[in-house]
Amino acid sequence: MGVFVLFTCSDVLFCTDGCMHSFWNQAKMTSKQEPWTRLSHSKKLPGWVAYNPKTMRPPPLSGDTKQMKILSWNVNGLRNIVQSGGFFSALAQRENFDVLCLQETHLKEGDVKDFMNLIPGYEYNYWSCSVARLDYSGTGVISRVKPISVQYGIGIAEHDQEGRVITLEFENFYLVNAYVPNSGRGLRRLVYRVDNWDPSFADFVEKLESFKPVIVCGDLNCARQSIDIHNPPAKTEDAGFTEEERESFQINFDMRGFVDTFRKQHPKAVGYTFWGENQRRNNKGWRLDYFLASGSIIDRVHDSYILPDVTSSDHSPIGLVLKL
């Protein structure tokens, strides 16, 4: 299967094998061309279905409904995607998002100036870069809506050296873009992640929530339930699916009242956002990327979705449509 690359023509998908497809209107594409339609799960339960954005998204809101559309994407290195030329402009044309949150940008502070006008018409750009280790981690937000305020990090020096959090304040809510630390090979950062980072980050978010509702988005580096990973029994010792990480997710988000918007909308859909090397073709993935919403704002979520056909990273973008 060719690697999909966005091209600048509206509503058209070009593949490296020379084929051309409409993004959502191509009739009877096969599961080989659309591997996300294949239900790959070693322990699937009755009623589980493969997530398919063509058939499982609600109708768009009417044009006179005030709304905000947010995309979140771990790009696994921003430079590599930008070098393809016109990619983000095409994505903006197709998806018409208001805010794009990026994780794992791998930028140094001196690089930021080269990416300040990445998408025409999106004039508000915010970047947080790792200073502890160069060309590592990093987050960014590109918006056509001016925020009220912007905050970098969570206010704790120990956790703010890797450019992992940017918070934008809007009129009705805070938007927190986060790239949560991976526990790493051999789980070398597991203790730091679950005992230090997770509770500190959750405390930061909870403090924001005392002022207005919060939406947390990004790569949270945890498949929180068995439905969120293709082979649960084989992955319990792997970073992102250990008992400690899932318990930490439950304590720090679920039990504090934050709602997994995708799982609320699709309780039995197997939809992944990350695939290891050569695993996308068989849809053997993980759901590591989330929109979490305060309980007080969850009724305003119109759509929470995955864009599995955007394949220029090992993650696919996720989206949220919020009624304002």
Active site residue 159: no
Q: Among 82, 147, 88, which Cα is nearest to 111's?
A: 82
* Strand partners of residue 305: 319
State how far the Cα of 219 lies from the Cα of 181, in Å rounded to an integer: 9
* Range list of β-strands (E), 206-286: 214-219, 258-260, 269-270, 274-275, 285-286
Q: What is the CA radius of gyration of the chain?
A: 19
Instruction: List Cα–Cα distances, 61 to 38, 93, 146, 173, 189, in angstroms.
Output: 29, 18, 22, 20, 43
Between the alpha carbon of residue 22 and those of residues 86, 93, 252, the distances in Å are: 18, 14, 41
Catalytic residue among 179, 272, 290, 305: 179
Q: Catalytic: 219?
A: yes
- Per the annotation, binding residues for Mg(2+) are 74, 104, 219, 221, 314-315
Which residue in the list 98, 219, 228, 309 is annotated as catalytic? 219
Q: How many helices (H) and strands (E) does the chain have?
A: 7, 19
The annotated binding site is made up of 74, 104, 219, 221, 314-315
Q: Are 215 and 322 in contact (CB under 8 A)?
A: yes
305 is catalytic: no
Residue 169 has phi, psi (to 5 degrees) of: -100, 125
Which backbone phi and psi does 168 adopt, to 5 degrees?
Answer: -110, 135
The rounded distance, in Å, linking the Cα atoms of 66 and 54 is 24
Residue 300's φ and ψ, nearest 5 degrees, are: -90, -5
159, 266, 302, 315: which one is catalytic?
A: 315
For 296, counting Cβ atoms within 10 Å of its Cβ (0-12 exposed, 13-18 middle, 19+ buried), the class is middle
The residue whose two tokens read 């005392």 is 210
Q: Which residues are catalytic?
A: 179, 219, 315
